[in-house]
């Protein structure tokens, strides 16, 4: 198989392996209460903001053609996703209404220490790495949310199902999670196409793998941290 085909298979394996990690199992194993659900939804909005930071940085360092792909990607995220009729941050805030959250709850939210550390780590990769590493690090978080690749469903789908099964809130009512089940599938496919164009050598491949490994490690730490904080909420 060619270098890109092998690489994509490896990336697929890595995003599937995330769900077997102790951190992911711990996070997804914490029983949801309404308070824990509120905490998660607020933290997810902050995570979405961090994604906007990182994609901006990646756009800064990427070649022109890739900048354009990222700009298109950010259209849904930052300006308006036609699937939802609003940008993804507004969507998360709106989703909060279902579980009794107000816009002020998002504005005044604190970022817990272990989560903050993960956000800074993602910033660091996005700002300081080779562009292929930075690009892959951000892409992997959407690939990990792609239900066509992750057996058993991506993260948004699984969390949405927890809200449904444990709190009785239909996934369709969790509008942000529901949109991301579809949006991240499309996003990860569009972004992934660039590997075919730019990965030509083993050095290119290694830049990609570096970004994938680092981002998935931070993602595990992040999910572990969320699980830890959620478990503290009685």
Partner 1 sequence: MEAAVSIESMWAELEQFQSAPFKRLLGAKFTKARAQQFSIQMAYYVQNRRDCWGYVQGSAPLDVKQLIWHHEEDELIGQKAQGKVDHITLAVKEGEVLGLSAEAFERTARLEGGEVCFSAWIRLAQRPWLEAIGGSAILEMRNSGELIQGGSLSYRVGAILERDLGIPMKKQINNAEHVVMDLEHAHLLMQVARKHATTDAARAAILRGASESLMIDRVYRGHLADLVESLP
Binding residues (CB under 8 A) for partner 1: these are 49, 52-62, 64, 67-68, 70-72, 74-75, 78-79, 87, 89, 126-127
CB of 100 to partner 1, least distance (A): 23
Q: Which is nearer to partner 1, 40 or 89 (CB)?
A: 89
CA–CA distance, 27 with 130 (Å, rounded to integer) = 31
Q: What is the dihedral sign for C-alpha 45, 50, 55, 60? A: positive
CA–CA distance, 121 with 98 (Å, rounded to integer) = 32
Cβ-Cβ contacts under 8 Å for 184 (sequence gap 6 or more): 142, 145, 146, 154, 156
Q: Which is nearer to partner 1, 54 or 149 (CB)?
A: 54
CB of 55 to partner 1, least distance (A): 7
Give the tokens for residue 38: 């509120």
CB of 179 to partner 1, least distance (A): 18
Strand partners, 86: 81
Question: Residue 154: in which H helix or E strand, if any?
Answer: none
Cβ-Cβ contacts under 8 Å for 93 (sequence gap 6 or more): 45, 101, 103, 106
Please check whether residue 229 is in contact with residue 112, taking contact to mean a CB–CB distance below 8 angstroms: yes
CB of 224 to partner 1, least distance (A): 26
CB of 58 to partner 1, least distance (A): 8
CA–CA distance, 137 with 144 (Å, rounded to integer) = 11
Q: Which is nearer to partner 1, 88 or 162 (CB)?
A: 88
Q: Which is nearer to partner 1, 88 or 220 (CB)?
A: 88
Q: Which is nearer to partner 1, 129 or 146 (CB)?
A: 129
């Amino acid at each position: 198989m060619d270098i890109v085909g092998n690489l994509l298979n490896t990336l697929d394996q890595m995003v599937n392996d995330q769900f077997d990690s102790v951190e992911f199992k711990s996070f997804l194993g914490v029983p949801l209460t309404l308070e824990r659900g509120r905490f998660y939804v607020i933290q997810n909005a902050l995570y979405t903001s961090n994604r906007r930071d990182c994609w901006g940085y990646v756009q800064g360092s990427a070649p022109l053609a890739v900048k354009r792909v990222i700009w298109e990607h950010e259209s849904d995220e930052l300006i308006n996703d036609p699937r939802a009729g609003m940008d993804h941050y507004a969507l998360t805030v709106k989703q909060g209404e279902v579980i009794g959250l107000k816009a002020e709850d998002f504005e005044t939210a604190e970022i817990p220490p272990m989560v903050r550390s993960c956000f800074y780590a993602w910033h660091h990769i996005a700002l300081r790495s080779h562009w292929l590493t930075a690009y892959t690090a951000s892409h992997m978080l959407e690939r990990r949310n792609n239900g066509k690749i992750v057996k058993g469903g991506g993260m948004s789908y699984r969390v949405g199902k927890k809200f449904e099964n444990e709190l009785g809130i239909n996934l369709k009512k969790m509008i942000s999670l529901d949109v991301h089940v579809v949006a991240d599938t499309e996003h990860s496919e569009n972004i992934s196409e660039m590997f075919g164009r730019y990965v030509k050598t083993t050095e290119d491949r290694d830049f990609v793998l570096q970004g994938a490994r680092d981002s998935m490690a931070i993602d595990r730490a992040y999910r572990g941290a969320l699980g830890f904080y959620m478990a503290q909420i009685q």
